[in-house]
A and B are shown apart, each in its own frame.
Chain A
Amino acid sequence: MAKTKKEGYLSAKESRRISKENRKITNALEKKRKRKNVPESEYLTEMHDRNNAVEFDNLHTYFFTDTGVVKSVDSVTFDIPIGKTVGVVGESGCGKSVTSLSLMQLLQRPQGQVVEGEIRLNLGDKAYDIAKIPYEKMLELRGNVISMIFQEPMTALNPVFRIGAQLGEVIELHDGNGKDKEYVKKRTIELLEMVGIANSEGVYKMFPHELSGGMRQRVMIAIALACNPRIIIADEPTTALDVTIQAQVLDLLRNLKDKINSSIMFITHDLGVIAEMADYVVVMYAGRIIEKGTAEDIFYHPAHPYTIGLMESKPVVGKDVEKLYSIPGKVPNPVDMPNYCYFKDRCEKCVKKCDGEYPTEISLSPTHKVSCYLYDGVDADAAREVNKTERLDETEGER
């Protein structure tokens, strides 16, 4: 191996070997995916809990790049209950978006592949495994049962088509069976009004560049909600918007979600937004879930040192600090990750056990799970107490 050379250096020979191996793996996977007439039994599955809209079970999504295999999502397991909002947080490049794209099957293929695990999607009377579902079947689900709101409203709409056409397209595709153009138009305008666009008839005829960022994001939300999806993936929907519009868009999402009773997978790195929106929170780091629990668990009793660091690095209104806290170091190189806690090198509470293999998931309470050696063998309640007192000290300091 090229260990003696500079880090990140790859000889031409090494690189060729890697891309050859990658091609072998991806070709096999692609071939399997491209089969025609896959029987339904192959991707039919059972939900573990019928109250969940989506269950990610041991999901592995890898990218086979020329510099090596990037394990973008590495054994991720969490549920999205029906009618609830699950927030996924983590810094850039930790696999949040890739998890959602795996659910949409929108990974950059052939490099990006779901190699292991299940994504069970609850369809009411039956459940499908998205990881195995064929392409044609997926087309029926996308935009219909699962829909997505993207990060960049400025570029997410096609610049050369009118808003009405872009919104009407989804309705026509999934909901237009035997219905005429008039119905589609009526429904389109109805949707535009639903997302709070006052001049709906005018906007129907407009091009995306004639709308502001907030308006465009409303249109995106309208597109996502057009077919009353069971699950909405919101991938940093408010990152590109200013705070006022952000608040409006979040309100809108929350109200509409309740209206059509769907679940939201909310991806963001804005903890404030998560606190406002989410019922459950999943904290990801370098492709793995390091902590998950209810919003209360995560915000009032953060357990993992990384989560605690995240909480500390957000500014608090009224708190005067010289310098905002930041977690030292950076996310490790995602190629060929070692099998120990990825946060070890940045962790302030690192203990001897951390040199061992990757920590298993430890339950602190029925809802609160964490992957950290600090809580290994420790009585769960005691651990919570420890953290609670620490937090209280701080909050007192704030006041």
Chain B
Amino acid sequence: MRGKNHAASYAAKTGVNILRKYIIKRLLISVLILFCVTFIIYALIRCLPGSYVENMAQRLSTAPGSKPYEEWLAQLNASYGLDKPIIAGYGSWLLDFFRGNFGDSWRFTVPVIEEFKSVIGISFIMGVISFVIELAIAVPLGIVAATKQYSKTDYVISAAALTGISLPTFFFATLLQLVFAVKLGWFDTHGLVGRDYAQLSAAGQVLDKARHLVLPVLTLAIVSIGSLMRYTRTNMLEVLNSDYIRTARAKGLNEKKVIYHHAFRNTLIPLVTIIGGSLPGLFSGALITETLFSIPGIGFASYQAMVAGDIPFTMFYLTFIAILTLLGNLISDVLYAVVDPRVRIA
């Protein structure tokens, strides 16, 4: 027996080693992918017509007594580093990136990192809160709908989910504004802070911000609950029809134990992939919601930067999202192995 225990602990140790090796391997591959992704993004941005520099040259050349457009263009190109071919330009961007020098944003005329810091916080908070709400509502509802398949409860939940999926964000956000801000007057329609924000105490300021976040978070959550709920329901149904659930019932376990112990643990497996995959979503902001509620978040800022052709900011933002996406994939793969004993990482 001792030999067996020894073998088991040995297996566990090698398991950890294999996992570490796997993660390192995946990280190395991710770096390679990242090079390709950033290069493609850079090349695409450079190829876009109506760049930031062209617009600026246009504007400057129309001023009275100014140099002609071509001269301005050449001068600006040189000063913004756009006279280099794409590959060389990418090379110098990459070099700066590794030095930790992300450049200054052209659109916001401050260092990229500074602008990023000022907008990411609020988007992240919104993302996390709405994601937690989404999970807390969608997963239990999905389970209830599955366990009571074809009952009235199931029909009501499924219909509500379908409504949630079909509602466009802008429509739903406007509807919320109309009902809760305009008609009922509970919340402000726009903005992150109220008019008297400056006069409030510290706690009051936090509360004020929270109050302004209610409608945007609600919009984000409700619009995405539907699909996650349906996903949970489908998976739960599949699990509930499997043989081992019948075995669990045959053991004499009560329905609660069967569903929340035996079935839920299996439903968790596909859910984990979704949760890992939503990591970049927490940081990417929500363009439409942020715009409609005038919340200065990353979604809105990145949109402005892209429209203006702001290469440093756009590159930084997209690289950031690419890193998060790759990391999210890795996390969901590792989590998969954690929740499903059949999955062995190799």
Contacts and interface: CB of A to CB of B under 8 A. Distances in A.
B1 interface: yes
Given A160-B341, A161-B265, A199-B4, A170 B251 contact: yes
A205 B340 CA distance: 15
B51 interface: no
Contacts of B340: 159-160
B165 to A, nearest CB: 27
Given A173-B252, A201-B4, A158 B341 contact: no
Nearest to A210: B341
A165 to B, nearest CB: 10
A142 B251 CA distance: 6
B4 A202 contact: yes
A233 to B, nearest CB: 9
Nearest to A140: B252
Nearest to A147: B250
Interface string A274-287: 00000000000000
Interface in B312-345: 339-342
Interface string A159-183: 1110000000110011000000000
Contacts, number: 75
Chain B interface SS verdict (over half): helix
A156 interface: yes
A376 interface: no
A139 B252 contact: yes
Contacts of A148: 250
A209 interface: yes
A150 interface: yes
B190 interface: no
Nearest to B244: A158
Given A199-B4, A201-B4, A158 B247 contact: yes
Contacts of A169: 251, 253
B248 interface: yes
B266 interface: yes
A270 interface: no
A159 B4 contact: no
A169 B243 CA distance: 17
Given A155-B242, A160-B341, A173 B265 contact: no
A173 to B, nearest CB: 6
A238 interface: no
Among B1, B250, B262, residue most surrounded by chain A Cβ atoms (within 10 Å): B250
Nearest to A224: B250
Contact of B247 (A139, A157, A160, A174): A157
In the complex, which range does the number of interface residues on chain A fall in?
20 to 34
Interface residues of B, number: 23
Given A142-B250, A147-B250, A205 B244 contact: no
Contact of B342 (A150, A159, A174, A220): A159
B8 interface: yes
B254 interface: yes
A361 interface: no
Given A160-B265, A160-B340, A155 B244 contact: yes
A144 interface: yes
B218 to A, nearest CB: 35
A91 interface: no
A141 B249 CA distance: 11
Given A159-B266, A160-B266, A223 B341 contact: no
Interface in B243-270: 243-244, 246-254, 262, 265-266, 269
A223 B251 contact: yes
A117 interface: no
Contact of A139 (B244, B254, B341): B254
Among B1, B253, B254, B341, residue most surrounded by chain A Cβ atoms (within 10 Å): B341
Nearest to B239: A158
A106 B246 contact: yes
A108 B251 CA distance: 16
Contacts of B242: 155
A116 interface: no
A78 interface: no
Interface string B260-282: 00100110010000000000000
Contacts of A141: 252
Contacts of B249: 106, 142
Nearest to B268: A160
A90 interface: no
Contact of B248 (A144, A158, A207): A158
Contact of A158 (B4, B8, B266, B339): B266
Given A159-B342, A207-B342, A143 B8 contact: no
A42 B35 CA distance: 75
A57 interface: no
A104 interface: yes
B42 to A, nearest CB: 44
A339 B243 CA distance: 35
A161 B269 CA distance: 13
A158 B342 CA distance: 11
Contact of A106 (B4, B244, B250, B266): B250
Given A173-B253, A201-B4, A220-B247, 18 more contacts: A106-B249, A139-B253, A140-B252, A142-B249, A143-B250, A144-B252, A150-B246, A155-B243, A156-B246, A158-B247, A158-B265, A161-B262, A161-B265, A169-B253, A173-B251, A201-B1, A207-B342, A223-B251
Interface of A: 104, 106, 139-144, 147-148, 150, 152, 155-161, 169-170, 173-174, 199, 201-202, 205, 207, 209, 220, 223
Top 8 A-B pairs, shortest CB-CB distance: A143-B252, A142-B252, A143-B251, A155-B243, A158-B244, A207-B341, A148-B250, A156-B243
22 contacts: A106-B246, A106-B250, A139-B253, A140-B252, A142-B250, A150-B246, A155-B243, A158-B247, A158-B248, A159-B340, A159-B341, A159-B342, A160-B265, A160-B269, A160-B339, A169-B251, A169-B253, A170-B251, A170-B252, A173-B251, A223-B247, A223-B251
